[in-house]
């Protein structure tokens, strides 16, 4: 399977198919989670996971931020009082002990670890050391710098000493939030961050031997234009990170309170947003980055690009990943685990999370056990969204079904996508065209059996 970087920008297709839909970091999506799935169901799933004896991935949610960025839709707590983190961490340590006991942790290798948030670098250096020490005591982390251990960085809260500590603790991948370098845009979203500061953290990370550097950008923020975002993009290309993520800003002030401080009149029109995205994709591909899919770009020698070339790319709650063989144990408030064909989510608020842990209970408030049909459709959607093609014959063999019979209605529905040029459809073999790659979520939606039931009640972001 070869990596294809060609993208065609078809404005008519985009206007027709740029509808609202899931991002498919999971299938079924979190909309389907139910409170009928709780701690008992999670414990049963953990036992099934133990029986597979497979490797693990760990996620820790650190919800604290020093200041609020107005665009943010994350589960976070804004405070300048770093002391507030310690009581939360004490509960996380208890959850680590419970999860390790459930998962036979001393015998299973952790291949992947990620600290997200919030801003993980909100923690003091001593707290970072303690969290990693507690993790290493309970879990068997892959050694020799072979594992993928990553952390989200706010360059405004990370000194060169912080980066040295993170490297010492075993982190080898970092993701830096930038969003936009334009001063007017930064002021409008309450995130003032200089190019010099960002470059300093990047340079020091390279010097320390971090093997992968990612930069996050957002298009659709107030006061952005094609010209201003192009300037940011040229700066980022010069910085030469291994990966670049370019996210679409979804303005949902009714759901995310900080967004109410954004002046709606300053948000780019949908037409301008599309122009920004078109320029961004064309420029990054011209600069040598591979369009992995959705919002992600990577250099050809990055592990994401290699995994896509080899047909091994996967997608989960953290986005694109190379570790499809790992069960994911997520710890902390609102975090989502994926164990033995189940999904589960912890309590949304720190108060509810801490109360559960203090009672010696896991904080699982909802989740889902996947049916055989869910597993089949998840595999189909993952194949399309990661590799832009699928061969129904492979699914017939792997799932013991007749693909074209099982998905008769879906294949009939996709005939319109075929006629419109989003896909090439020959029998039960599907290939997303260069013009359809930007709209790959629309192709995946054809295989989502839940979507029609929820489409009228659940708000999703637009595909692009």
Please tell me whether residue 32 adopts helix, strand or coil conformation: helix
CATH topology of domain 1-28+370-464: Arc Repressor Mutant, subunit A (1.10.10)
Q: What are the extents of the domains in the chain?
A: 1-28+370-464, 32-330
Q: What is the pLDDT of residues 284-308, one digit of tens each?
A: 999 999 999 888 999 999 999 999 9
Buried b (16+ CB within 10 A) or exposed e, 433-452: bbbbbbbbbbbbbbbbebbe
Q: What is the pLDDT of residue 456?
A: 36
pLDDT class for 454, splitting at 50, 70, 90? very low
Q: Please give the average per-residue pLDDT across 117-122, as a whole number.
A: 91
From the options 3.80.30.20, 3.30.465.10, 3.20.20.70, 3.20.20.370, give the CATH code of 32-330.
3.80.30.20
What burial class does residue 241 get, using C-beta atoms within 10 Å of its C-beta: 0-12 exposed, 13-18 middle, 19+ buried? buried
pLDDT in tens, 91-118: 999 999 999 999 999 999 999 999 998 8
pLDDT at 2: 39
- pTM score: 0.93
DSSP annotation of 147:
S
Pair 243, 213: CB distance under 8 Å: yes
Enumerate the H helices of 256-407 as residue ranges: 270-286, 303-309, 350-358, 372-387, 392-399, 403-406
Residue 4 has pLDDT above 70, yes or no: no
């Amino acid at each position: 399977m070869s990596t294809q970087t060609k993208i065609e920008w078809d404005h008519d297709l985009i206007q027709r198919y740029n509808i609202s839909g899931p991002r498919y970091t999971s299938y079924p999506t979190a909309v389907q989670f139910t409170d009928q799935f709780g701690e008992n169901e999670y414990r049963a799933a953990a036992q099934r996971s133990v029986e597979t004896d497979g490797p693990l991935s760990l996620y820790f949610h650190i919800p604290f931020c020093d200041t609020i960025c107005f665009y943010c839709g994350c589960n976070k707590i804004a405070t300048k009082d770093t002391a507030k983190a310690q009581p939360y961490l004490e509960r996380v340590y208890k959850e680590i002990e419970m999860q390790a006991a459930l998962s036979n942790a001393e015998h299973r290798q952790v291949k992947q670890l990620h600290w997200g948030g919030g801003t993980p670098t909100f923690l003091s250096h001593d707290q970072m050391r303690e969290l990693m020490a507690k993790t290493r005591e309970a879990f068997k982390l892959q050694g020799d710098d072979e594992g993928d251990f990553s952390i989200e960085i706010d360059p405004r809260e990370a000194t060169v000493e912080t980066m040295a500590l993170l490297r010492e603790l075993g982190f080898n991948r970092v993701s830096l939030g930038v969003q936009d370098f334009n001063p007017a845009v930064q002021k409008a979203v309450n995130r003032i961050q200089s190019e010099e500061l960002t470059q300093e953290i990047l340079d020091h990370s390279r010097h320390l031997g971090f093997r992968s550097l990612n930069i996050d950008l957002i298009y659709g923020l107030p006061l952005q234009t094609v010209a201003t975002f192009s300037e940011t993009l040229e700066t980022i290309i010069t910085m030469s990170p291994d990966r670049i993520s370019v996210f679409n800003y979804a303005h949902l002030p009714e759901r995310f309170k900080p967004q109410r401080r954004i002046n709606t009149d300053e948000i780019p029109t949908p037409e301008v947003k599309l122009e920004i995205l078109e320029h961004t994709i064309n420029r990054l591909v011209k600069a040598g980055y591979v369009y992995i899919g959705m919002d992600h770009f990577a250099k050809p020698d990055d592990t994401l690009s290699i995994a896509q070339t080899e047909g091994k790319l996967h997608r989960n709650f953290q986005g694109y990943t190379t570790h499809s063989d790992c069960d994911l144990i997520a710890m902390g408030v609102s975090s989502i685990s994926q164990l033995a064909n189940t999904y589960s989510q912890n309590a949304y608020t720190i108060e509810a999370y801490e109360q559960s842990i203090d009672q010696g209970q896991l904080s699982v408030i909802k989740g889902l056990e996947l049916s055989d049909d869910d597993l089949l459709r998840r595999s189909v959607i993952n194949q399309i969204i990661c590799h832009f093609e699928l061969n129904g014959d492979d699914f017939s063999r792997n799932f013991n079904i007749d693909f074209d019979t099982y998905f008769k209605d879906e294949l009939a529905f996709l005939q319109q996508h075929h006629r419109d040029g989003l896909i090439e459809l020959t029998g039960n073999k599907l290939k997303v065209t260069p013009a359809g790659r930007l709209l790959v979520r629309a192709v995946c939606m054809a295989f989502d059996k839940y979507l029609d039931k929820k489409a009228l009640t659940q708000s999703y972001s637009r595909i692009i």
